[in-house]
């Protein structure tokens, strides 16, 4: 199973387009710790941004894709090729924070992956996932289309809803401290303002994706 995930990720990282998306912005705006493990680090884009803010932060990246790891190393990031669906090679509480950004939807069993992240984190786990039951996804189903997030080219294996994510976080010994969403049309005048309000009122419907900072329960 892991081999097929690796093949898919290798293809994706052949021609990557890393952007400072809302989830990475959430991390950069809320990160105050001194060490971080990025599970599914890709080409090391986020860790590089963190080091630009504070070169004294201890960071390490992990990825299942050798293509991604090679690119991260070229970006000056300390990183290792690891099957992230297996037990991680670290002691408990090795890092103050652990990142799982756009990772859980790409694995067959997200709970063991998240539990490992919690085990090696001493304080926080940052998580982001797409919302597979957003209003646009529901409308696409009604029109007889496969929702964008559910197409094969996305490589999404585990479909996440807000309730599923909340239950997963609780079951893994975390408590949500901050939740940020991105919604559709949010950059348009007036309409964007309305969508942001609707997103706060009904995130399970109007959020396109969720980004969460969760505290480890001791």
pTM over 0.85: yes
Percent above pLDDT 70 for the chain: 91
Q: Give me the domain span that covers residue 169.
A: 2-216
pLDDT on residue 1: 47
pLDDT on residue 7: 64
CATH of the domain at 168: 3.40.50.150
Instruction: Tally the domains of the chain.
Output: 1
Alpha-helical segments (H) within the chain: 2-14, 22-30, 45-53, 66-74, 110-120, 135-142, 162-171, 191-201, 203-206
Q: Is the pLDDT of residue 115 over 50?
A: yes
By the 10 Å C-beta count (0-12 exposed, 13-18 middle, 19+ buried), 56 is classed as: exposed
Token pair for residue 117?
Answer: 């992240």
């Amino acid at each position: 199973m892991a081999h097929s995930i690796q093949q898919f990720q290798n293809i994706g990282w052949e021609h990557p387009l890393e952007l400072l998306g809302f989830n990475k912005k959430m991390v950069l705006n809320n990160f105050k710790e001194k060490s971080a493990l990025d599970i599914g680090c890709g080409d090391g884009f986020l860790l590089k941004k963190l080091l630009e803010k504070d070169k004294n932060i201890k960071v390490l990246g992990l990825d299942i894709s050798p293509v991604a790891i090679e690119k991260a190393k070229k970006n000056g990031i300390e990183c290792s090729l690891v099957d992230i669906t297996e037990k991680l090679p670290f002691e408990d509480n090795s890092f103050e924070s652990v990142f799982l950004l756009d990772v859980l939807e790409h694995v067959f069993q997200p709970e063991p992956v998240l539990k490992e992240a919690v085990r090696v984190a001493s304080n926080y786990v940052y998580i982001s996932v797409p919302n597979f039951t957003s209003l646009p996804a529901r409308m696409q189903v009604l029109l007889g289309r496969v929702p964008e997030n559910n197409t094969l080219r996305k490589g999404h294996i585990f479909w996440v809803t807000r309730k599923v994510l909340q239950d997963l976080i609780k079951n893994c010994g975390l408590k949500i401290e901050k939740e940020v969403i991105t919604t559709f049309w949010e950059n348009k005048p007036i309409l964007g303002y309305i969508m942001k309000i609707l997103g706060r009122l009904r995130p399970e419907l109007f959020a396109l994706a969720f980004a969460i900072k969760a505290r480890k329960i001791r």
